Amino acid sequence: MFEGRTSDSNGRFGKIWVDDINGKKDPAAQNTGNYSGVNLDVGGVPTPVGQPRTITMDIKAGEYLWFAEMEDNSGGISGMIIRGLPTVTTAVGLLASSDVTGPYTAVSDAQIDSANKSIKVATTGSARFFRVQGSSKITSASVSKGVLEIKYQ
């Protein structure tokens, strides 16, 4: 958020939050810091480039981004820039253990196909318990001709 003018004497503050469509869970106090064109820390000296503030919010599906100006009847913000950040993805891997409680270690012979979101591993040898690392959901698991195939999202 930023404000371009340098004539405010009280600074500019606001509240920004993530909530449902009603937006009733706003913070009790401002959480933006002073984003005005004057520096209150040095007696309200005009700051030609302003004091832009970056606030990072995590917005999930079905949530809304809310902003409330802490109004002092001198005007509002000059701008708010909203940009998405890339999602951090964790590499998918297959872990196995001979005991359900672990310890689990990486399966070196697992064939991971990230394009088709599947993992294949031979089922030969002793019984093993598997865990898929880095996936939010397993959609199916099947065994055919001695190969376990796990599909994930």
Q: Can you tell me which residue has the tokens 């958020």?
A: 1
- Could you give the CA distance from residue 88 to residue 90 in angstroms, rounded to a whole number? 7
Residue-wise pLDDT tens digits, 118-133: 999 998 888 899 999 9
Q: How far is CA 152 from CA 104, 134, 135, 136, in A?
A: 19, 10, 7, 8
CA atoms within 13 A on the CB side of 74: 14
Rounded Cα distance, 37 and 44, in Å: 9
Task: Kindly report whether the peptide bond that precedes residue 27 is cis, defined as omega within 30 degrees of 0.
Answer: no
Give CA–CA dist 58/28, Å, rounded: 19
- The model's pTM: 0.50
**Cβ-count burial 18-37 (b if 16+ within 10 Å, e if not):** eeeeeeeeeeeebebbbbbb
pLDDT tens profile 68-96: 888 766 666 567 788 877 766 668 999 99
Query: In terms of C-beta distances under 8 Å and separation of at least 24 residues, what long-range contacts does 40-49 make, across chains too?
Result: 40/10, 40/11, 44/9, 46/6, 46/7, 47/6, 48/6
Show the low-confidence residues of the chain (pLDDT under 70).
1, 4-6, 72-78, 87-90
